[in-house]
Amino acid sequence: MEHLLSAEEITPEVFGEIYQTAQSVKKALREGRKKFSVLRGKCVVNLFFEPSTRTRSSFEKAGKFLSADVINISTSTSSVKKGESLVDTLKNLDMMHPDVIVLRHPCEGAPYTAKPFVRAAIVNAGDGRHQHPTQALLDAATLKEHFGTLEGKRITIVGDIANSRVARSDAILFKKLGAEVFVYGPSTMMPRYPEAMGVKVLKSFDDVCDVSDAVVLLRIQLERLNAKKTFPSIREYAELFGLNRERLKKLRPETVILHPGPFNRGVELTNDVVVSDKTLIFRQVETGLAVRMVVLSLLCNRLERLKEEVK
């Protein structure tokens, strides 16, 4: 794997390899081991043109745990503020010999634009509405850890599907791993051609409760839409499409709940959901760190070394 730009690139075999190694990494981290020499001499640049808590900090921790040099650049404190373009920013950074550039950008396709201008491996850490492949990896890994397999599982993604790179990435990987994927949300937040995503559209929250082994809740992507045009009010959205105490009771006993974060309490979910024993939301974050340690090692051709070190 030279770059990781889309969930399309992740085969079930690659996922299996990443999952197995991430499980060993997670065990090592839980045992308190926090320093590995796998990426000594390597350099990781985190270049974020959009806000992030989980993705950015976990890539930073991943690089540091693996002994890489890590440079964090956010646009608010970079020369992008002075008008420097994406390509010029990347060409300058490439002269500092990074091995991996982790790029988040509001424009769909930005990592593909970046690729010809750098020698480093690029990880797409989210490009507009398009893709967030490491989120798909960590979501699939969280579900595999819980269920043992995604084969035959019915997973429903609820919320702002049209504007969500998580929905797009998850749907691709979940289906590759044998799951059946459904979506539910306001019709104004549905993709125009859901069949092109290979998903089925559910008509009510009762359907979601009846069908789902797992429910992935999404945040409304207010930064990507004019909220007034897509739903009447936050209160109505919460009533119609949010997961709350009553709906939680209607879910099947074995159903689990995921959310990529950041979540908005009182909108797509209530406090009851956050504290429910059905939620895997914080487990996702822990898995995300391990998965990103594996991805960085893989892109630096050091996967075997990581496997050796975490034994």
Using CB under 6 A as the criterion, which residues of the chain lie in contact with ligand CP when the complex forms?
Answer: 52-56, 126, 135, 260-262
* Cα separation, 259 vs 158, whole angstroms: 10
Closer to ligand CP by Cβ: residue 172 or 303 = 172
Give the gyration radius of the chain's Cα atoms: 19
Written as six digits, the tokens of 131 are 């893709």
With beta carbons less than 8 A apart as the criterion, state whether 136 and 11 touch: no
| Minimum distance from residue 159 beta carbon to ligand CP (Å) | 13
∠ CA(226), CA(229), CA(232), 5° rounding?
A: 115
- Torsion of the alpha carbons at 59, 115, 220 and 162, rounded to the nearest 10: -140
Three-state SS sequence of 9-58:
HCCHHHHHHHHHHHHHHHHHHHCCCCCCCCCCCCEEEEEECCCCCHHHHH
Given the complex with ligand CP, which of 132 and 153 has the nearer CB atom?
132
CA–CA separation, 24 vs 35, rounded Å? 14
The residue (of 162 and 209) whose beta carbon lies closer to ligand CP is 162
Residue 297: both structure tokens together: 């090692």
Closer Cβ to ligand CP, 135 or 279, answer by number? 135
- Calpha distance 65→68 (Å, rounded): 8
Look at the alpha carbons of 38, 135, 257, 236 in this order and tell me if their dihedral is positive or negative.
positive
Minimum Å gap between C-beta 259 and ligand CP is 9
**Which stretch of DSSP H or E encloses residue 241?**
helix 234-241
Least distance to ligand CP, CB of residue 56, Å: 6
Specify the 3-state DSSP secondary structure of 308: helix
Shortest spacing between CB 29 and ligand CP, in angstroms: 19
Which C-beta is closer to ligand CP: that of 53 or that of 149? 53
Tell me the closest approach of the beta carbon of residue 126 to ligand CP, in angstroms. Answer: 6
Q: Name the minimum Å distance from CB 50 to ligand CP.
A: 7
C-beta closer to ligand CP: residue 126 or 128: 126
- Minimum separation from the CB atom of position 212 to ligand CP (A): 20
Decide whether 128 or 260 has the Cβ nearer to ligand CP: 260
